Chain A
C-alpha cells in the first residue's frame, strides 16, 4: 500500500478538510494531476473542476472547487480554493448561475485582454459542468 500524506483543503472561510490521504487528484490549470506520497514539490494554479481525495482511512470524497492553487511540499499537499463544495451538496443551478455570470463578464469586458480572461473562465466552467454531469 502506498504511503499516506497530510492533505489540507482550505477555503477563505474555513479549513474544510485536514487528514491523511493516499491519493489526491487535482484539476490543475494545465491538466489534471494526481499527487501521492513523496511527490516532488509542485505548485500549480487550478481551474474549476472536481478534486478527488482518496482518504487513508478509506473512502473517496469529491469536491467541486473554483479558483485557487495547490501546493505540494515536503509537509504534504495544501489546496487553497476560493470555493470548495462537496459534489453531493452542489446544486446544478449554482453552476448554471455561475456560468451566466461568466457570460455577462465576457459581454461586459472592456478590453481584449480581460475578455480573453473571462472567456477562459467561462470555458472552464462549462467543462466543469459537463464533468459533473457524467458523475
Chain B
C-alpha cells in the first residue's frame, strides 16, 4: 500500500506528463494544418503531371523506343524500396505501419528470389528496419534539418534515384509512404515509381480525345517529363507523409492526454480514500483513548 506522500508524488508526475502530451497535441494540431495545406496545394501539380504523362504514355505503349523510365529495364530482379517515414517518434502507429508494409513487401520479394535494396528516408524507418533487414539497406536520407519540405529536397532524392537507375542498380522502384486520409486515418501506401504507372489516369479523361501538337516531339517531352515526374511523386509522398505524421501524432497525444486524465482520477480517488481512512483511524485512536480514562 503506497503511502499518502507516494500517491501525491504519482499524481504530480502524471499531471506533468499530461501537460506535456497536451502541449504536443496542440503543436501537432497547428503543424497539421500547415502540412495539410501544403499537401493540398501540391495536389494540382502532381495530378496535372500525371494526367499529361498518362496521355503521352498511352502513345508509347508497346513501342520499342519507349524510355526506360516508362517501360522498365525488361527485368524485375532487383527491387528498390524507398521507405519514407518520419524523423521523430511519439506519433502512434505511423512509423511502424509504414515499416511493416515495407517489411512485408521485402520479405515476399526475398522469398521469391529477388534482390531487395532499401533506401530509407527518415530516421525512424531506418531504426525499425535495420534490425532484421539491415543488410539490405543501401542508403539513408535524413530530413531532420528540414523544417518544411520544399520541392528541391524531393528533387535531391529524385536525382539520386535517377542516378541509381541510370547506373543499373535496380529494375523496379517502389515508394512507401502514408497517405493522409483524415486525422484519425492514414493509409500506408506503396506506389511504384519505376517503371512509371499512372493510377489517376482516368481523371484527365476529358482531354483524352484531343489531338495535341507537341513541341518538341512526344519523345523529347516524355524524356524530359518522366525524370521530373519521379521528383514530383516523391515530393507528393513526402508532403502526404508530413501531414499524416502530424495527424497521427495529434490523435496519439490526444489519447495519451485522456489516459493521463483517467489515471489522475483513479489516483486521486485512491488518495482521498486513504486520507479518509487515516483520519478515521486517528479519530478512533483518540476516542478509544478517551474512553479508557
Contact = CB atoms under 8 A, between A and B. Distances in A.
Contacts of B52: 43, 69, 71, 80
Contact of A45 (B210, B212, B221): B221
Say what secondary structure dominates the interface of chain A.
strand
A15 B45 CA distance: 8
Interface in A77-109: 78, 80, 82
A42 B42 contact: no
A10 B213 contact: no
A131 to B, nearest CB: 20
Contacts of A8: 44
B214 A14 contact: no
B45 A73 contact: no
B228 A10 contact: no
Contact of A12 (B42, B210, B215): B42
B215 A43 contact: yes
Say what secondary structure dominates the interface of chain B.
helix
A30 interface: yes
Interface residues of A, number: 26
Contacts of B175: none
Interface residues of B, number: 28
Contacts of B44: 8, 10, 15
A27 interface: no
A42 B225 CA distance: 16
Interface of B: 38, 41-42, 44-46, 48-49, 52, 150-151, 154, 206-207, 210-216, 220-221, 224-225, 228, 232, 235
Q: Which 4 A-B pairs have the closest CB atoms?
A: A14-B41, A44-B215, A12-B151, A41-B212
10 contacts: A10-B45, A11-B45, A12-B154, A15-B44, A42-B215, A43-B52, A69-B224, A74-B206, A78-B48, A80-B45
